C-alpha cells in the first residue's frame, strides 16, 4: 500500500473572495447589516439563474421548507393535512412539515438513486394528502415526470426539496423549477454557502408577497421594494394600509409568520458565489464524473451515485453504500478514510425508523428497508470545486487500499 496521510480533504468548502469582502465592508459602512439591498440582489441572481419570477432568501433551508408549506395554507392546505416525502433524508424536511402543522408521510427510496421511489407513492395517498415533496438527494434528480404525473392525477402540490441540488438538471431543466415551489439551502457544505441561509423560488408571482410576509413575522409590508426588505430608504407604500386603523405597514401583520430573514453579510457571500455559479457546478460535475469512473471497479461492493443520460448532476458529495452481502462495516471504512485525512459523513438514515425524534408516528423498523440499509451502510466524501484531480485520486487510492486490506481486491 502506498497511501500516506496528506492534507484533509473536506466535505464542504468556503470561498470568500475580494468581491464578497468589499460588499461586507460596504454593508458595515452603510450601517445596514440586516436584510437590505444585498439580500434583494442575491434574490435577483437566483431568479435570473432559474428563470423564475420570484426568489425569496431566508435564514436556512429548513425555514425555506417551512415557509413554502405555510404559504400553501392560503391555497386550501389545512393543519393536519399530509405531506408525502422520502424516508431517507436530512431531518429538516420532516421538521418543516411539523413546524407548518402538517403530517409527514414517508415513502421508501430506490436503491440505485437513493431518491423517493415513484412506484411506492400512490399507495401512501389518502384523502388528507395535499403535498408531495421530492428530495433531490445529494444533487441527484428525482424522476420528475413520474412525480408530476402522480401529483396531477391526485391534485397535489409539488414542493421540490432542492437544498442539495442547486444547478442540477432533469431533462435539461433546472431542479426547483418543476413544482409550485423549489427550496434551497446555503449551508456551509452545500453547492454555494452563505454560512447559513436558504431560499424559495416559484414561477407563480401570486406567492411573492405571501412568502416575503411569512419570512418576516407575517408583516403587511412585504413587497420587493419594501423598506425592511431592500434598504433603509423611505418605502412609497408604507402607509397604504387598506384595512384597520394601524396605518404603518411595517408594524401591521396579516398572518402568523416566522423570523427567518437572511442578512446582508450572508447575502454578500451569496452574491459573489452566484456570480460564479457556472464554474462551481461545472467543476463539481467534473469531479463526480472522474471519481465515479476511477471507483467503477468497486461496483460489486458498493452502490454509488451515477449520472444518467437524461440528467446533469451538480453534486453535494459522492455517496457510497456498502452492499448488504459485503462483509465489512461502515465504521471500518469511515475510520480508515478519516485516519488518512479524508472527511466523511453518514448518508442520513430512515427518518421514521432510525431517528428517535419521529418514533411518535408509530412506524416499525423494517418499514423502509432501502432507506434503513442506506442509513446503516452509507457514507459520502467531498467532491467540491476546491478538490482537484490529485485529491480525487488519493480518495480512490485509499478506498481501493481498504478493500485490499480486507481481502476483497
**Residues belonging to the active site:** 190
Q: Give the 3-state DSSP-derived string for 233-252, with helices as H, strands as E and coil as C.
A: CCCCCCCCCCCCCCCCHHHC
The number of residues making up the chain comes to 409
* DSSP three-state, residue 340: coil
> Cα–Cα distance between 137 and 160 in angstroms, integer?
11
Q: Which residue has the cell 436503491?
A: 111
What distances in angstroms separate CA 199 from CA 89, 155, 194, one per listed residue? 18, 25, 11
**In contact, 27 and 34? CB cutoff 8 Å:** no
CB 305 within 8 A of CB 235: no
In sign, the C-alpha dihedral spanning 228, 232, 235, 241 is positive
Residue 125 — left, alpha, or beta (φ > 0 → left; ψ -120 to 50 → alpha)?
beta
Give the alpha-carbon dihedral of 232, 234, 240, 245, to 10 degrees: 70
Q: How far apart are CA 405 and CA 299, in angstroms?
A: 17
C-beta separation of 374 from 363 below 8 A:
no
- Strands 311-312 and 198-202 come out as unpaired
Beta bridge partners of 161: 135, 183
Cell numbers that stand for 404 in this block: 485490499
Q: How far is CA 299 from CA 215, 292, 294, 320, in A?
A: 45, 10, 11, 10
261 forms beta bridges with: 58
- Residue 193 contacts by C-beta under 8 Å, 6 or more apart in sequence? 12, 14, 186, 187, 269, 273
- Answer for the pair 184, 273: CB distance below 8 angstroms, yes or no: no
Q: Which spans in 173-325 are helix H?
A: 208-215, 264-274, 277-294
Amino acid at each position: 500500500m502506498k497511501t500516506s496521510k496528506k492534507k484533509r480533504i473536506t466535505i464542504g468548502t468556503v470561498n470568500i473572495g475580494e468581491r464578497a469582502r468589499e460588499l461586507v465592508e460596504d454593508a458595515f459602512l452603510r450601517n445596514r447589516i440586516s436584510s437590505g439591498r444585498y439580500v434583494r440582489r442575491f434574490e435577483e441572481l437566483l431568479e435570473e439563474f432559474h428563470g423564475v419570477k420570484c426568489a425569496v432568501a431566508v435564514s436556512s433551508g429548513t425555514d425555506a421548507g417551512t415557509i413554502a408549506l405555510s404559504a400553501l395554507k392560503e391555497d386550501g392546505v389545512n393543519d393536519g393535512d399530509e405531506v408525502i416525502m422520502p424516508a431517507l433524508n436530512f431531518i429538516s424536511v420532516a421538521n418543516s412539515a411539523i413546524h407548518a402543522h402538517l403530517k409527514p408521510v414517508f415513502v421508501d427510496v430506490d436503491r440505485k438513486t437513493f431518491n423517493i421511489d415513484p412506484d411506492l407513492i400512490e399507495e401512501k395517498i389518502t384523502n388528507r394528502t395535499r403535498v408531495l415533496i421530492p428530495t433531490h438527494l445529494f444533487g441527484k434528480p428525482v424522476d420528475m415526470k413520474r412525480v408530476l404525473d402522480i401529483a396531477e392525477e391526485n391534485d397535489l402540490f409539488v414542493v421540490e426539496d432542492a437544498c442539495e441540488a442547486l444547478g442540477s438538471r432533469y431533462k435539461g431543466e433546472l431542479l426547483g423549477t418543476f413544482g409550485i415551489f423549489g427550496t434551497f439551502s446555503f449551508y456551509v457544505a452545500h453547492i454555494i454557502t452563505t454560512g447559513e441561509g436558504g431560499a424559495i423560488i416559484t414561477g407563480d408571482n401570486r406567492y411573492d408577497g405571501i412568502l416575503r410576509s411569512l419570512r418576516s413575522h407575517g408583516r403587511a409590508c412585504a413587497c420587493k421594494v419594501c423598506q425592511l426588505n431592500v434598504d433603509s430608504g423611505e418605502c412609497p407604500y408604507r402607509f397604504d394600509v387598506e384595512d384597520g386603523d394601524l396605518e404603518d405597514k411595517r408594524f401591521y401583520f396579516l398572518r402568523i409568520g416566522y423570523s427567518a430573514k437572511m442578512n446582508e453579510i450572508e447575502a454578500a457571500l451569496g452574491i459573489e458565489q452566484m456570480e460564479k455559479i457556472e464554474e462551481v457546478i461545472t467543476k463539481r460535475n467534473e469531479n463526480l464524473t472522474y471519481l465515479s469512473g476511477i471507483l467503477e471497479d468497486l461496483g460489486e461492493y458498493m452502490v454509488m451515485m451515477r449520472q444518467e443520460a437524461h440528467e446533469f448532476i451538480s453534486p453535494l458529495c459522492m455517496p457510497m453504500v456498502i452492499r448488504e452481502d459485503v462483509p465489512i462495516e461502515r465504521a471500518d471504512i469511515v475510520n480508515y478514510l478519516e485516519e488518512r485525512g479524508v472527511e466523511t459523513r453518514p448518508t442520513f438514515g430512515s427518518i421514521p425508523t432510525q431517528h428517535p425524534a419521529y418514533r411518535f408516528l408509530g412506524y416499525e423498523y423494517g418499514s423502509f428497508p432501502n432507506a434503513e440499509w442506506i442509513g446503516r451502510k452509507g457514507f459520502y466524501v467531498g467532491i467540491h470545486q476546491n478538490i482537484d484531480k490529485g485529491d480525487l485520486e488519493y480518495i480512490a487510492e485509499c478506498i481501493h487500499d481498504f478493500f485490499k486490506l480486507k481481502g476483497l481486491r
